[in-house]
Structure 1
Amino acid sequence: MDSAWVVLSLAGLITGFSKFSVGGMGLLILPIVMVVFPGPAALAVILPLYIVTDIMAVFSYKAKIAWSVLARFLPLAFLGMYLASHFLANIDQDQFVRFLGVMIIAMILLGLYLDYRPTPFMRKPLAAYSMGFLGGIVTMMANAAGPLFSLFLLEQKLKKETYVSTRAWGFFIINMIKLPFYLSLGLLTVESTKASLYALPGLFIGAFVGYHFLKKINPVQFKWFVRIMSAIAALKLFWEA
């Protein structure tokens, strides 16, 4: 269990750091946990960690939530989650690993595209629904819909406090809805929850470090570091599959 404890502590550290700093590290967390929990089982180990950080976030940001924005995004997200749950129920471990690798590469390419292209179309209702649907699929399959959700929210031209609060509550609602899906799939179990507990000390340390060192991080350099590490993780998944 020593190696599992190290891996889970690292995953918790990255989860807490990402949530309370510049974000964007979700693509790294699942491949790390899959070192000791191969396949979809890793999804259920990560989910309680996200819910803990979500609860911390929503207690910090309780005002100025743009519920009308969430009302455009969440319904199709729930549909995407529902369809993705059926997909998860009917694929084997190798297929899941390949799909995850493709998803990571797709998220990296989307980020590169958005670095150089304006996205005013995101303010149109169709874009909101499409991002919600895709985000629902990605969050169920990889717990990494942050780039899609953030892309949609950024283009709503919300004030900073409203953006942060809306984002925090949106993730909290989405992750809570995932609980019954993972339970019905047999992924979320007593054993997976016990494994999540091993990651909690690292999560709180990561949250503390991320919160206090946010101003010292160069976001551009950090973003490229995460992209490179995520690409390496995706290539590793393809190799293993």
Structure 2
Amino acid sequence: MNTMTLWHITGWEFAALAFAALLVGFSKTAVSGANTVSLAIFAAVLPARASTGVLLPILIAGDLLAVATYRRHAHWPTLWRLFPAVAAGVVVGTVFLLWADDAVVRTSIGAILLLMAAVTVWRRRTADKEEEPESVTTRPGRLKARSYGVLGGFTTMVANAGGPVMSMYLLSAGFRKLGFLGTSAFFFLIVNVSKLPFSAGLGLIDGRSLLLDLALVAFVVPGALFGKWAVHRINQRLFEQLVIAATVVGGLQLLLP
């Protein structure tokens, strides 16, 4: 990665990155999946591959705030079922990044996100409408957990786009708002921290990229605080619709040239 390009951004480009960082904070404490818009902004302002390395520490900062907010609502049995498959997906994603160019990465991730959104909408329309307790979920099948886990690990490694994939999995498993946010908070904190050595090894993170992160991370905090305020004012159906809509928007943005 030619990190010197990171210092050639204009004031307007930095403002766009700051807004994207604020949106990361909001997505971590309110509407998970909305940070696909942040992904698109970072990829538009910075070189696409380099942008994934700059965005990763920003995401980790948002994960820490989300864990601090929703740590009591995590569903650990779901997390333990997912982690082995996610690890496999991260390894596959790392190998993929060794040869894939930006166009292949964007097209692959965009297609996966739209497919996940379509599957989830279909499943929600055909599923029973019974209410679930706030932090309790139905037990998803092992094949389903493995499939989503591999896809989540792959997409989070190649483009930091695992959020929508995991959002689709948690929604299809019947999670309510707080259980959804608590489980995804721990999931992405653990996964994103584990990605650091892979990203550094690929040359996507270095001292210069971390300095840019240091300038941007302050914008994550107000976004997270606004998300914490907003989430209690969003009903469950609207919450699910926003998550799916954010996934579709992110997928379309990745597919467009």
TM-score (norm. length: structure 2): 0.79
Residue 139 in structure 1 maps to residue 151 in structure 2: no
Contact 2:139 2:173 in 1 (8 A): yes
225, 230, 234: which one pairs with 2:250?
A: 230
Which residue in 2 is equivalent to 1:16? 25
- CA 1:221–1:148: 2 relative to 1, 3 Å: closer
Contact 2:107 2:255 in 1 (8 A): no
Secondary structure at the residue paired with 1:23?
coil
Secondary structure at the residue paired with 1:35?
helix
- CA 1:66–1:225: 2 relative to 1, 3 Å: closer
Q: Take 2:248 and 2:144, find their aligned partners in 1: how far apart are those partners?
A: 28
Q: Take 1:163 and 1:222, find their aligned partners in 2: how far apart are those partners?
A: 14
- CA 1:101–1:166: 2 relative to 1, 3 Å: closer
Contact 1:122 1:152 in 2 (8 A): no
- CA 1:40–1:112: 2 relative to 1, 3 Å: farther
What is the CA-CA distance between 1:144 and the residue it aligns to?
2.3
Runs of 4+ that moved beyond 6 A: 119-122
Contact 1:40 1:93 in 2 (8 A): yes
Q: Take 1:143 and 1:221, find their aligned partners in 2: how far apart are those partners?
A: 22
Q: Take 1:42 and 1:152, find their aligned partners in 2: how far apart are those partners?
A: 26
Q: How many residues in Structure 1 have an aligned counterpart in Structure 2?
A: 237
Contact 1:54 1:169 in 2 (8 A): yes
Which residue in 2 is equivalent to 1:199? 216
Please list every run of 5 or more consecutive structure 1 residues that lacks an aligned counterpart in the other structure: none
Residue 58 in structure 1 maps to residue 58 in structure 2: no
45, 50, 58: which one pairs with 1:41?
A: 50
Q: Take 2:247 and 2:180, find their aligned partners in 1: how far apart are those partners?
A: 24
Deviates more, 1:11-20 or 1:62-71: 62-71
RMSD (Å), alpha carbons: 2.9
Q: How does 1:12-161 map to 2 (within 5 A)?
A: 12-63=21-72, 65-118=74-127, 123-154=140-171
Write out per-residue CA displacement over residues 26-62 of structure 1, whole angstroms, 9 at most, x where no aligned residue.
3222111011212221111111111111112223344
- CA 1:157–1:209: 2 relative to 1, 3 Å: closer
Secondary structure at the residue paired with 1:123?
coil
Write out per-residue CA displacement over residues 87-127 of structure 1, whole angstroms, 9 at most, x where no aligned residue.
00111233223333333433443443344233999721221
Percent sequence identity is 30
- CA 1:161–1:189: 2 relative to 1, 3 Å: same
Q: Take 2:106 and 2:167, find their aligned partners in 1: how far apart are those partners?
A: 25
What is the CA-CA distance between 1:19 and the residue it aligns to?
1.2
- CA 1:12–1:114: 2 relative to 1, 3 Å: farther
Q: Take 1:224 and 1:163, find their aligned partners in 2: how far apart are those partners?
A: 14
Please list every run of 5 or more consecutive structure 2 residues that lacks an aligned counterpart in the other structure: 1-9, 129-136
- CA 1:227–1:184: 2 relative to 1, 3 Å: closer
239, 242, 247: which one pairs with 1:219?
A: 239
